[in-house]
Amino acid sequence: MKTLKKIAVTLAATTALFGTMYANAQTNDATADSTAQPSKKAQRAQNHKLEMTVRRALTHTKHLDSSGITVLARGGVVTLDGTVPSDDEIQVAVGAATGVSGVSSVKNNLLMREAGH
């Protein structure tokens, strides 16, 4: 009878130990997942910083009138909207935006505006 009791106690202790280890492993995995994703506030700040960096690059690019260009960034993808005076400037703007560190791709929605408009 004492042997059976020792086996039962050992089995209960082993089960409790493995159950605790499993619960800790799940808690640590959940913590790791939440730290891998930046918060929405941090994502917005990164997007805003990238928008400002691209805007600065456009305004400092020679032979480009960037006053009609709007810049939107989402997770490294930059969208250029608006108008420029010539077709050549569309390519200049896309090239300038592509060259900015942190830009993974550029969506070009730029149009050439007609003279006098």
Q: pLDDT per position in the chain (117 positions), as tens?
A: 566 666 666 666 666 655 555 555 555 555 555 567 889 999 999 999 999 999 999 999 999 999 999 999 999 999 999 999 999 999 999 999 999 999 999 999 999 987 665
Query: Which single residue is written with the structure tokens 């420029």?
Result: 84
Same domain, residue pair 57 and 107: yes
User: 55 lies in a domain?
Assistant: yes
Same domain, residue pair 32 and 44: no
Same domain, residue pair 107 and 51: yes
User: 117 lies in a domain?
Assistant: no
Task: Output the six-digit token pair for 17.
Answer: 């130990």
Question: pTM for this one?
Answer: 0.67
Q: Helix 87-98 vs helix 40-59: angle between axes, to the nearest 10 degrees?
A: 130
Q: Render pLDDT for 35-69 as a digit per residue (tens, 0 to 9).
A: 678 899 999 999 999 999 999 999 999 999 999 99
Radius of gyration of the chain (CA): 29
Q: What residue numbers bound the domain in which 90 lies?
A: 40-112
Same domain, residue pair 81 and 100: yes
CATH at 66? 3.30.1340.30
